[in-house]
Structure 1
Amino acid sequence: MSEIRTVTSEAEDAGRKAARPRLWLTVLSLAAFALLIALGIWQIERRAWKLALIDRVEQRVHAPAQPMPSPAAWPTVSTANDEYRHVSLTGRFLHDRETLVQAVTEEGPGYWVLTPLQRDDGTLVLVNRGFVPSERRDASTRQAGNPDGQVEITGLLRMTEPKGGFLRNNVPQHNRWYSRDVAAIAATRGLHDVAPFFIDADGGSQTTGGPIGGLTVIRFPNNHLIYALTWFALAFMLAGKLLVTFGGGLFRRKRFVHEPAGGSDATARRTGSDAGTIVEST
């Protein structure tokens, strides 16, 4: 009987050891679980930040136009505090220094027309007057829409877009522009005392025959909740796998078989006060 018990116990121990994951795999799984939970929490925090950003921008866009920041305040203008702020300014356009930046809008493919606006104090601000299709790229086709005197512009303050667009770098020496890079445009056009941002003119600032204003697209993708749920779902799936792996032995059913206490033949089974007990896993 003791021999049978020993064999059975060794078999159970071998089965438990075979089912037990290696230490490095256990540590890796726990680390992965912690990382997935952290990613889910991070996406929840990102969602709260994005909702606050959307609310802040909506308030700025629909607020009454305020005077554009003065030159003394230019160094402190930032994306977080000022982008999409509704502003107003006055000055005179320098049409001979305009720059065309490739664009695709709801009106189709074409160009943004960025024109320096000279203010009374001599400083310059690049104004995105709006969109023109490719057939109106030449300034001679838009002369009637280019005002000569003092103008008042209202629009949205936008931050510079350095270097270029997606997978396309600006090529100033060939006058090819894919982003509204204020510093590069100013250097190429020989402009000085230029604001480090530009203004997207709204529809009320456009002139008959001029570029189409008011086409600023304000869109902030907000898929953070979906991402968070995905990370949490993966974490709980991994947790379920770990529970099955480590807790399998706790839920395994046991079967009791009576074996003659003194017999060595496993087939000679009987009941009685001298019968032994063998525990077999099922």
Structure 2
Amino acid sequence: MQTPIQTEGKMRIRPAVVVVVLMTVILTGMLLALGTWQVKRLSWKLDLIQQVEERAHAEPVDAPPQSQWATLTDPSTYEYRRVRLTGIFRHQDEVQVYTVSDLGPGFWVLTPLQRDDGSVVIVNRGFVPTDKRDPATRLAGELPARVDVIGLMRAPETGGLFLRTNDPQNNRWYSRNIAEIAKDKSLGDVAPFYVDADATPNPGGLPIGGKTMLSFPNNHLSYAITWYVLAAMTVAAGWYVTRNLNAPKRNEGNDADGPSQ
């Protein structure tokens, strides 16, 4: 009597199985690579957060003198370092950079500070609301005398995907691009960084300092877990499809004729 399932001495691998196996291997490798990349990003982010915390809450040190500016090519070596500097604000060269902060829409007030040695460092004095953009509306905060500033060193902004292009001719600023500000205001040799002033109150209450963002989103662990779970699901799905594609087929011709006598 013939059996309903025909088998051969050697199992025949169907072409579809080979395609599924190759796709499973490639996709799994990509997902594992993405998960590993997120693990590395997690380590980097944790180091960054620790570094920022240590720098931002340390005792202030003197801001780098002009003789050291040429060495400040890597922002990671100095960003968020707490520094102090002394000089006179050049309020006539102030620039207001549009922003949306936790206080709502408004502007950062960036003012060049001329130090005793003649060098210039641009200071982000803080936030003002939209209706206080004009310096004439906040004259109490336009300090004419020699001042001491404590704040955090920041790398200049050079534009990006979410920043509009500065329009100096129409006094419209959207990024804290130090080189562009220095050129527009003819400031000469300016520090390649700027300083975010701390929360020390200014006369009249404006600008509002101490608004540097010190919290960083850290979702890399959840992303890594997601990629690894997807990789495991891909392997399981590939195994299931491969098993079904390579299963023996029922001999439909014999079934149609019925069992032989």
Report SS of the residue matched to 1:75.
helix
What corresponds to 1:272 in structure 2?
none
- What is the TM-score when the length of structure 1 is the normalising length? 0.81
What corresponds to 2:253 in structure 1?
none
What corresponds to 2:254 in structure 1?
none
* C-alpha distance in 2 between matches for 1:62 and 1:49: 20
Cα deviation, residue 205, structure 1:
5.9
- Is the contact between residue 153 and residue 205 of structure 1 (CA under 8 Å) also seen in structure 2? no
Aligned length: 252
* C-alpha distance in 2 between matches for 1:204 and 1:118: 20
- Is the contact between residue 154 and residue 201 of structure 1 (CA under 8 Å) also seen in structure 2? yes
- Is the contact between residue 164 and residue 177 of structure 1 (CA under 8 Å) also seen in structure 2? no
What corresponds to 2:156 in structure 1?
160
Name structure 2 gaps, 5 residues minimum.
249-257
Give the structure with the higher percent strand: 1
Aligned pair partner of 2:259 in 254, 259, 266: 266
* Higher RCO by CA contacts (8 Å cutoff, separation 6 or greater): 2
What corresponds to 2:35 in structure 1?
40
Aligned pair partner of 2:61 in 66, 75, 81: 66
* C-alpha distance in 2 between matches for 1:198 and 1:162: 13
* C-alpha distance in 2 between matches for 1:51 and 1:174: 41
Q: How do 1:97-108 and structure 2 match up within 5 A? A: 97-108=93-104
* C-alpha distance in 2 between matches for 1:209 and 1:5: 93
- Is the contact between residue 88 and residue 113 of structure 2 (CA under 8 Å) also seen in structure 1? yes
In structure 2, relative to structure 1, the CA distance for the partners of 1:165 and 1:69 (3 Å cut) is farther
Q: How do 1:125-204 and structure 2 match up within 5 A? A: 125-163=121-159, 166-204=162-200
Q: How do 1:207-246 and structure 2 match up within 5 A? A: 207-246=203-242
Aligned-CA RMSD value = 2.7
Report SS of the residue matched to 1:204.
coil
Q: What are the superposed Cα offsets for residues 43-80 of structure 1, whole Å, 9 maximum, x if unpaired?
A: 11110110110011001111011111121221222321
Cα deviation, residue 136, structure 1:
1.4
In structure 2, relative to structure 1, the CA distance for the partners of 1:99 and 1:165 (3 Å cut) is farther
In structure 2, relative to structure 1, the CA distance for the partners of 1:225 and 1:164 (3 Å cut) is closer
Structure 2: which amino acid aligns with 1:212? Answer: I
Report SS of the residue matched to 1:180.
coil
Report SS of the residue matched to 2:121.
strand
In structure 2, relative to structure 1, the CA distance for the partners of 1:164 and 1:235 (3 Å cut) is closer
Identity %: 45
Q: What are the superposed Cα offsets for residues 206-250 of structure 1, whole Å, 9 maximum, x if unpaired?
A: 333431111111221111111111111111011112222445599
* C-alpha distance in 2 between matches for 1:218 and 1:98: 25
- What is the TM-score when the length of structure 2 is the normalising length? 0.87
Structure 2: which amino acid aligns with 1:103? Answer: T
Which structure: larger Rg?
1
What corresponds to 1:9 in structure 2?
7
Report SS of the residue matched to 1:212.
coil
Aligned pair partner of 1:56 in 51, 56, 65: 51
* C-alpha distance in 1 between matches for 2:140 and 2:236: 71
Cα deviation, residue 172, structure 1:
1.2
Cα deviation, residue 193, structure 1:
1.5
